[in-house]
Amino acid sequence: MAAGSISSEKIDLLIYGPVRPILENGFSDHFVVHKAETRGDLERLTPAIREKIRGVAVTYHTVRADKESLSQLPKIEMVASFGVGYDHIDAKYAAEHNIIVTNTPDVLTEEVADVAMGLLISTLREFIKADRYVRSGLWQTQNYPLSVGSLRDRKVGIVGMGRIGQAIARRLDASLVPVVYHSRNPSKDVSYKHYPDLIEMAKAVDTLMVIVPGGASTNKMINAEVFKALGPRGVLVNVARGSVVDEPALVQALKSGTILAAGLDVFAAEPTVPDELKAMQNVVLLPHIGSASVVTRNAMDQLVVDNLKSWFSGKAPLTPVAETPFKGR
């Protein structure tokens, strides 16, 4: 294929997961677009169609492009994933089979950081509870009680210091809140104190904001030991993946007063949320809306389209993940 030009042969693509307008309409006459919202839909595609598919747009993190799915597509060259996290993609299998995987970083960084900061403040200052207080008419009879939590006199430990972690840290800087962080390796891009040990950082702060990738290496890393180290003033905010937090341990920590409160945008078995969390007044629950604005989701969809079109024009992928770096054709 000549660099910079789409092949004259039509290219078969699969939209795997929910179909949205930019994804459905983003490809020119040079492409033939097939659709499969579920694994069952994929398996119902005829063998002749599966044989032809060369690119896949995975459109949501609950749609798993694992070995079993990818192995049904013998000519696949690229998986363009919607979202910055890609633990639902078997990137190891992809690398072993010369399949490029891309994600959608940068275009959602500021949006997710906005939500993380808003969730932290809402949790500390009890915005949701206070809103219900006004709606119930109670304010007409007595003033709302002082919130126990406050952003003042706090120190935040960010778990993960990638693009979004750094954007959250900038917002905390502007709010005059001290920041430290934990990650596997120190980041060259920041001057905040790095803690190689998560427990030691939890002991040194009273607030944890979690923004690490999902997957086996981070599964339940925020556990009972971390909550004990965080202590009774402790607040957890999770805008990463639900799998990163040991959810039963979190419920117990909140019930027992081991920590003060939690703000959660993600859960272990979405969209199911434990009834115990729903019943708690010291928890703010969001339906995984970190990047969920029209402008940002459109930009993410467009980047999925642009990655596929760039690749099949003979160019480099725009945002390949670390496991499948572009090394030329």
* Active site (catalytic) residues: 241, 270, 288
Alpha helices in 27-101 (DSSP H): 39-44, 47-52, 67-70, 91-96
Q: Are 206 and 154 in contact (CB under 8 A)?
A: yes
Alpha helices in 208-323 (DSSP H): 224-230, 247-256, 275-279, 294-311
**What is the residue whose two structure tokens read 């040990």?**
197
The Cα–Cα gap between 206 and 37 comes to 42
Of 268, 273, 270, which is closest to residue 283 (Cα–Cα)?
A: 273
Going from the C-alpha of 175 to that of each of 1, 35, 178, 213, the distances in angstroms are 52, 46, 9, 26
The Cα–Cα gap between 264 and 283 comes to 8
Q: Are 209 and 240 in contact (CB under 8 A)?
A: no
